[in-house]
Amino acid sequence: MSYKLQFAELLPYWNVLLYGLVFTIVLTIVSTVVGIAVGTAGAAARTFGPGWLGRIVAVYVELIRNTPFIVQLFFIFFGLPALGLKLSETIAAFLAMVINLGAYSTEIIRAGIEAVPKGHIEAGLSLAMSKWEVLRHIVLNQAFRKIYPALSSQIIIVMLGSAVVSQISAEDLTYAANYVASRNFRNFEVYLLVALGYLLLAMLTRSLLRALGRVIFKAR
Amino acid sequence: MLQFSFWDILSNLLIATQWTIVLSLIAFFCGGIVGLVLLFMRTSRIAPLEWFTKIYIEFFQGTPLLMQLFLFFFGIALFGVEVSPWMAATLALTFWTSAFLTEIWRGCVEAIPKGQWEASSSLALSYIEQMRYVILPQASRIAVAPTVGFSVQVIKGTALASIIGFVELTKAGTMLNNATFRPFLVYSLVALIYFCLCFPLSWWAKKIEGRLNVAR
Amino acid sequence: MSLVSIRDVRKSFGPNEVLKGVSLDIAKGDVVAIIGRSGSGKSTLLRCINGLETYQSGSIVADGIEVAGANTNLRELRRHVGMVFQQFNLFPHLTAAENVMLAPTVVNKVSKAEARATAAEVLAKVGLSEKMDAYPSELSGGQQQRVAIARSLAMRPKVLLCDEITSALDPELVNEVLRVVEQLAREGMTLILVTHEMRFARDVGTKLVFMHHGKVHEEGVPKEVFAAPRTPELQQFVGQVG
């Protein structure tokens, strides 16, 4: 190979890349928290809610799970303004992430809820607890413990998928990489560095979530 | 200015959908072949081979598919080879798919009781023979559902090829949007077409999984 | 006046009628043992009393509350009607004490401290004072079932329904649970038990109910009924299990 990799030329842009990194991290954290809240509500609606609500949630889940994230993003950012709903790049990115993770976590949490033995629910009801109290104190706790690994994987998948928000000019890590590449034309070096950055972030997130899981579910 | 009717938009999208399907099929089948090779390496109990596959999988599962597309697109060019978006997309999607399929299949292989390995090695079968005649026939039964399920991810993954300029369904949608300024209609149709491609596969995967659970 | 009154209750699962007009009166302080073959409808009857199952016709009134379909104030009903299950159904993510404290704090809005005092009291009653902070997975089956009894007692129920509570236990663990139930009976707790423990039914029960094909086939004072079963079905049943 006659070409020489020149990573030194990336140095002047460290602040751009750092900004992108922080953006990606914040985007991931916020959409994880809100997305799982949406997923919990969705799963509760599908398992404990009235039938019509469960069907609406099912349609939402299937629509999101069977279309690419980039199309969802474009639909929100380019399509919704046609209906009079104009969103900034950043808000559109956050919204798309939440909607996406919300659908996946609905399915994951629902599976967890359905894995809780029916007898536990009956025991809770027999203690005069309401459906929602049973859900909150008995079912969700056990469900989350069971699906925590699957949910963790999904969070990392969504984090990596967030690279796509650069396509509507939300200023994440990939956007930063595109910006640097357009300035110094060291495409390969930039993308390699940023890819490794994502890899590190994914590994870090995984260990962090594992440690967090040990703290939350310390019992037993 | 050129006028686009609803049918013009739809027919243009459907033409581009062919490329989404072709790219998906190639990525899925090539990825499957590479994945099978990697599966043998990953379960071989030969340390260097296992290490290689572990790092390979870690990289392709731990970085964004979009980055992988960029790396192939710009990386191959460094060797002085002219890269088309088509070639970069095919390569990146193949490697990406293979990493996920290897991990899915490894889980299925590991679900086979240890006694099967012990029994078959007691019959003097070699590692390859054990896999070929004893383990894979059993593992493949439980592998069908998650494999079909992952094919949905492959179809959705091909949408990213649009970013490096490959004209498939998503790219066609962007181009039609620029020409018609009807983003709501165009992206609704794009989403609907993806849904029609993916949903039957998702549904099928779920059905097979349910049947397996009943059989158990 | 009876504490639980069951009038001509009928219940079907699809085409299969499991309760074909059951009537029973249970007074305060009664210890009712319901026996019968599996499939005779005894567990279903028990589950109808606290509204875990609905029934198609007839009526059940428990502690003055009519148990009837969706309009029933099930929460009020279940505050006074406790239930213990064959499979214990302890909540695995909570300790023994937390299992007991959950309903009082959530349903009755009792303070944590007060609930813990109650938990200590009821767990002492079932002989598990030293296991308050153990998780269900750390307890034997017999201990788990005693925690489950304590969990129901913490709500101060007026009636306790026991659904084959020793059937899932290893034989050597059955007695520790029965002793607890016997003590409750002696203290005057109203109990309705579906059970296969014939000796226990005879010695502790104040009333025996033999169910057969979805009906009360024979009932009376346990010692008398066991000594002289009137119907051939009960004779046969007692002959088999006794």
pLDDT tens digits, C172-198: 999 999 999 999 999 999 999 999 999
- In the CATH scheme, what is the homologous superfamily, with its name and number, of domain C4-241? P-loop containing nucleotide triphosphate hydrolases (3.40.50.300)
Rounded to 5°, the CA angle C87-C92-C95 comes to 115
CB contact under 8 A, B68 and A195: yes
Contact residues, A window 106-135, toward C, CB-based 8 Å cutoff? 117, 119-120, 122-130, 133
pLDDT score at B199: 97
- Residues B36-56 pLDDT 10s: 999 999 988 899 999 999 999
Q: Is B64 on the interface with A (CB under 8 A)?
A: yes
pLDDT score at A219: 55
Q: Is C85 on the interface with A (CB under 8 A)?
A: yes
Domain map (residue ranges) of chain A: 7-216
- Residues B97-153 pLDDT 10s: 999 999 999 999 999 888 888 888 777 788 888 888 889 988 998 999 999 999 999
Q: Is A137 on the interface with C (CB under 8 A)?
A: yes
Q: Which residue of A has its CA nearest to B177?
A: A78
Domain map (residue ranges) of chain C: 4-241
pLDDT score at B216: 46
pLDDT at C19 over 90: yes
DSSP string, C184-238: HHHTT-EEEEE-S-HHHHHHH-SEEEEEETTEEEEEE-HHHHHHS--SHHHHHHH
Of A119, A123, A141, which has the smallest distance from its Cβ to C93's Cβ? A141
Domain map (residue ranges) of chain B: 11-215
pLDDT score at B128: 86
Q: Which residue of A has its CA nearest to C137?
A: A220
- Residues B161-189 pLDDT 10s: 999 999 999 999 999 999 988 999 999 99
Q: Which subunits count as partners of chain B given 3+ CB pairs below 8 Å?
A: A
How confident is residue B76, by pLDDT bands cut at 50, 70 and 90?
Answer: confident
Give the residues across from C164 on adjacent strands.
none
CB contact under 8 A, B67 and A67: no
Say how far residue A66 (Cα) sits from the centre of its chain.
16
- Calpha distance C81→C4 (Å, rounded): 10
Q: With 0-12 CB in 10 A as exposed, 13-18 as middle and 19+ as buried, what is C137? A: exposed
pLDDT at C100 over 50: yes
pLDDT score at C70: 65
Low-confidence ranges of chain A (pLDDT < 50): 220
Q: What topology is assigned to A7-216 in CATH?
A: MetI-like fold (1.10.3720)
- State the nearest Cα–Cα gap between A117 and chain C, in angstroms: 8
pLDDT score at C69: 66
Q: Is B24 on the interface with A (CB under 8 A)?
A: no
CA-closest candidate to residue B205, choices B138, B159, B150: B150
pLDDT score at B127: 86
Of A119, A122, A220, which has the smallest distance from its Cβ to C137's Cβ? A220
CB contact under 8 A, A123 and C83: yes
Residues near B121 by beta carbon (within 8 Å), at least 6 away in sequence:
B130
pLDDT at C166 over 60: yes
Query: ipTM of the assembly?
Result: 0.91
Gyration radius of chain B over CA positions: 21
CB contact under 8 A, A133 and C107: yes
Q: Assess contact for C222 and C33: CB atoms under 8 A.
A: yes
Across all residues in chain B, what is the average pLDDT?
91
With left for phi above 0 and alpha for psi between -120 and 50, is residue B200 left, alpha or beta?
alpha
Q: What is the CATH number of domain B11-215?
A: 1.10.3720.10
- State the nearest Cα–Cα gap between A76 and chain C, in angstroms: 41
